[in-house]
Amino acid sequence: MALMITDECINCDVCEPECPNQAIYLGPEIYQIDPAKCTECVGHFDAPQCVQVCPVSCIPVDPGHAESQATLWQKYQRLQKQVQTQRLSASQASSLAAASDSGA
C-alpha cells in the first residue's frame, strides 16, 4: 500500500527530504503523498522513512491504495526507469548545449 498523511500533520517539513521517491509534497494545507510514487520505501529501505521521522505519527497506510509487495517492487522499478530516462535526457540536453556553445 501507499502511505497517506492525515490532518494531524503539523507541517514540520521533516519527512519530505527523507523520501527516496520524491513522493511527498506540500499540499494546500498539509504535506501529502503521491500514491503513484510511494513504494513504502520498497527498493530503497527496509522500513518507510517518513514514518520513522514523523514526530506525530500521522502517516498510516492508505486503505484506498492496497498494493502487494510485488506490486510495490514493480512500482519501484518503473520509477527507477523514469529517473534514468530523465537523467539521460538532461545529460543529452547538456551535451547539446555545450556543443552549441562551442560551435558559436
Compare residues 21 and 67 and give the one whose CB is closer to ligand SF4.
Answer: 21
- In the chain, count H helices and then E strands: 2, 2
Residues 75 and 85: their CA atoms lie apart, in Å, by 15
Q: Look at residue 6 and give its three-state secondary structure.
A: coil
Segment 44-83, which members bind ligand SF4 (CB under 6 A)? Answer: 48-50, 53-54, 56, 58-59
Compare residues 58 and 67 and give the one whose CB is closer to ligand SF4.
Answer: 58
Contact residues for ligand SF4, defined by CB under 6 A: 3, 5, 9-15, 18-19, 21, 23-24, 31, 33, 38-41, 48-50, 53-54, 56, 58-59
